[in-house]
Structure 1
Amino acid sequence: MTLKIESLVLSDEKSYECKLQHGEAVSAEMKLTVNQYPREFYVEDTGDVPVDGEEASVARCVTKGAKPEPKMWFTDADGQEVSLDEVPVISQGDDGLFDKTITLKKTFTKQDNGKSYKCHVERADLTTNVTDMSAIQVHYASSVVLLNSVPEVWEEGESLQAACEAWGNPTPAVTWSFTPDAKTNVTLPAGDLLPSNFQTNGARIFSNRLAATAQGLTNNGTLTCTADNKIGSPASASFKIGVYAAPVTTVPTTTGMAPVQEARAGGPDGAVIGGVVAVAVFVLIVAVLLIARYFMSHKGTYRTKEMTMAEDEEKRGDLMADEDEEILAESGGRKKEFFL
């Protein structure tokens, strides 16, 4: 004997009895259980924005009208099950069906930014439904670095360029500001972040002509690049610059008037070249004078010695001639020889 029920419904879940009458009656009872796949299965966004280092509930995975209670879990982009900080919400209606919700609630870090998650639901037949979620956007504080090394000492009139790089989520706003050196006793006009001879273009700052301290304007101080996206504290990177006045040269006049001061227009390169040339000329002149003096002094000494030797030879010859005459006179004109 076979019991066959077509198009089972939940109301078919009951006990069924089979009786066999053959002399003595024999019966057997069976309990029929009817399962129900989830009638609804979806993932919804909570609207919460996770922040680095903070706990947040970013999504809910929901099943409705399931029997028995389904197993549900989240996995990350690596396929690992996520440990949740919130227990599931489960309810059972009069019809015996279960509604169940799990929430993706955890402490997020900026390393989780851009990762995607999946919700899994295991049905009564042990098959699994999977629903993908959109990538999670984790907000984290700004960071900033300088892109180039900037010298600290500059000459008036030179051009300066610098740039910084900032990152964060959301993308931070970048601003440049200037703090004058306290020794200059100069302050910026109210509302101004930079001296009038500086311009910015996003994360870049430049000045076509640096100025030393004069008439209420100075470029001696600290330039700061600040990045801020309203998450945590702003980040900044700074560097100092010192601008000195261009040196001047004095041009003498032949009219008896006061010397005229002319600013050197050649810049730092002209100053270096001019100094090198001047030193070279001076060294050359001194060398020529020393060499000339050396040769003159040695030439005079040689002549003096040469004349003295000639005079000595002449005197020695005269003396020998006188001695020969005396000897001849004493010997009656005969020359005597002596042997030792």
Structure 2
Amino acid sequence: MQLRAAHVRVRVPATSANLGPGFDALGLALGLHDELEVRALGASGVRVEVRGEGAGTVPDDETHLVVRALRAALDHVGAPQTGLHLLCHNRVPHGRGLGSSAAAVVAGVLAARGLIAEPEALDDDTALALATQLEGHPDNAAPALLGGLTVAWTDDAPGSHDPSAPARVRAVRLAVHPDVVPVAVVPPGHLSTKAARGVLPAQVPHGDAAWQAGRAALLVEALGRRPDLLLEATGDRLHQGYRRKVMPSSLALVDALRAQGVAAVVSGAGPTVLVLARRTPGAPDGTDADAAVAQAFGGVMAGWRVLPLPVDHAGASVTAMLD
């Protein structure tokens, strides 16, 4: 496999996973994007420039997540490694449950797709599999790559009866009702995914699992055709309650909003709160959550940001640049 382009531009959306009951399976792409330019260099080495989120804190060498994903993708298709110059314009907040690491991984894989002579070797199925290997789970990677609402899952490798064989990763993209208006309520502090997962139990009651399965199925219907069911459909018994001790303010906000009839959940591993609001009939710029969010803040939640973010229906993209 040869390299075809020397300069590509990649655009990847923020994402919110879980959406309440869809733990490690459901994800939604949001209209907030990281954009980066990647240049293949004749000389060896890596130069990374970061502007915006993560500037001065993320690595600027081979350990940068985009670089690691790009190199893994080149290795996968047998393409030669090259020197790299990355210019990253980051808008997705880091450590807030909005898929910043998935955005970086998908960006690296898509950059490799743009650089190689046969981009079909890194089609969406392959890109999702590679991203999942680096991420550990596909719930953010799938919507970042495909856009819209996605359901992601893994199954046994085709034809394999070996339990140690790598699982196949799959995802489907579903339509989102136009009246659904996501709103991210972003706190000033961050929380690592490792810390958020570390408080989850190894086992949950069978009754809770059965209850959760019904809500997850209902959520697909609510997001696609019945937004009036969003409050009931976003109930959760598997992860948010266990995480209360590591993000008490976030769960307090979720409780306050849900008490007023607003479909609010923890976004991914948190601590951002995602509101799945509905457009108000007769007021195209208003939603059923506006008053509840304003009341919940009440001047007390200093440093939090309220970001209305439309659904991103396009997903990640890569464009070859002509210098």
TM-score by length of 2: 0.19
Q: Which has the higher helix share?
A: 2
Using CA pairs below 8 Å that are at least 6 residues apart, which structure has the higher relative contact order? 2
TM-score by length of 1: 0.18
Q: Which has the higher strand share?
A: 1
